[in-house]
Amino acid sequence: MAVAPVTASGALPLTLVAADRAPGSIPCMVMNVAVASITPDSVVEVSVVTSKLLTAISKQGTWITHQDLQGKAAVTGAGDQPVPVKSKVKLNLRFTTPGGPLILRNVICWVTEQPLPMGVGDLLLSRWIMERLGYSAEKPLAAAQQICSE
| pLDDT at 21 (0 to 100) | 52
Task: Give the span between the Cα atoms of 75 and 96, in whole angstroms.
Answer: 28
Reported as a single tens digit per residue, the pLDDT across 48-65 is 999 999 999 999 999 999
94-123 in b/e form (b: 16+ CB < 10 A) is beeeeeeeeebeebebbbbeebbbeebbbb
Least confident of 4-13, 57-66, 85-94, 138-147: 4-13
**81 pLDDT more than 90:** no
**Domain extents for the chain?**
17-149
* pTM metric for this prediction: 0.76
Q: Reply yes or no on domain 17-149 having CATH 2.170.220.
A: no
| Per-residue confidence band for 105, with pLDDT thresholds at 50, 70 and 90 | very high
CA distances from 124 to 73, 81, 89, 112 (A): 17, 15, 13, 11
Q: Which residues contact 3 (CB under 8 A, 6 or more apart)?
A: none
Q: Is the pLDDT of residue 18 over 60?
A: no
Rounded to whole angstroms, how far apart are CA atoms 60 and 17?
Answer: 16
User: Cα separations (Å) of 131 from 10, 91, 139?
Assistant: 35, 19, 11
- Given a contact cutoff of 8 angstroms between Cβ atoms, the answer to whether 22 and 40 are in contact is no
Tell me the residue type at 96. Answer: T
Q: Which stretch of 11-25, 99-113, 126-140 has the lowest confidence by average pLDDT?
A: 11-25
